[in-house]
Structure 1
């Protein structure tokens, strides 16, 4: 298995990221397509991981007032537990720093909080619900 994680540059690569998001969030987690596709994708950096030609993970980074919001981190079910989420997050951190973004925030699904804590994020809110799923806001300062 040779996994390549990239910043999506072409329309095809961005569409690949959206396919993974649809599979994980809309199909698997039953999140409304209207919530998942919020009209903000054209303002974001997109990230996608491939196993050969097959898109297997995705995420996006949106700049808001010189801070970054990490969103839509997802890995196809059959690829979870293989460090691919880490690869996506490390590339997001690298891209953020290259663009002068050093404060990142994200809304982690409660089940994913330990994953983000291992990357250095800390919880900065009480549990709240988005799309019917418990989340917590988490933050990190990149050095």
Structure 2
């Protein structure tokens, strides 16, 4: 697996997010102003784009991960865990000591398997239950492969 980090959202990232979040999951507000301040990480299997996420700076040394998606034919191969690991490495190299994320509640166990913990803030995003989670990156020495069926 190869990862590319871009300061602007590449077409490959847009295509994957449209397929997973809009076509499969029915979200409407997929692209926003946060895309302009984010780093976009795309996973490639050879030349084929297969997964994506974005990370952006928050308060202090905290960054936020979002829009993690893996195309259906590639799920169950730990690509979601690989993307999270690449995101952690990327933001650590930029001084981050904590990563937060706004997860769909149905995938909380995936993030827990990677060391993320519930921050106790639960809400709805376009009617879908979500929760805020975080992970101190100082504790991270590698990433644990989790199940990414949900992506």
Does residue 64 in structure 1 map to residue 62 in structure 2? no
Does residue 8 in structure 1 map to residue 6 in structure 2? yes
Q: Tell me which stretches of 4 or more aligned residues in structure 1 moved more than 6 Å.
A: none
Structure 1 length normalisation: TM-score? 0.90
Q: Residue 81 of structure 2 aligns with which residue?
A: 86
**Structural RMSD (CA):** 1.4
Matching of residues 1-143 of structure 1 within 5 Å = 3-8=1-6, 14-32=10-28, 35-66=29-60, 67-143=62-138
Q: Hey, what's the Cα distance between the residues in 2 that align with 1:8 and 1:56?
A: 16
Structure 2 length normalisation: TM-score? 0.85
Matched pairs, number: 137
> For structure 2, which runs of at least 5 residues remain unmatched after alignment?
139-151
Q: Hey, what's the Cα distance between the residues in 2 that align with 1:51 and 1:94?
A: 20
> For structure 1, which runs of at least 5 residues remain unmatched after alignment?
none
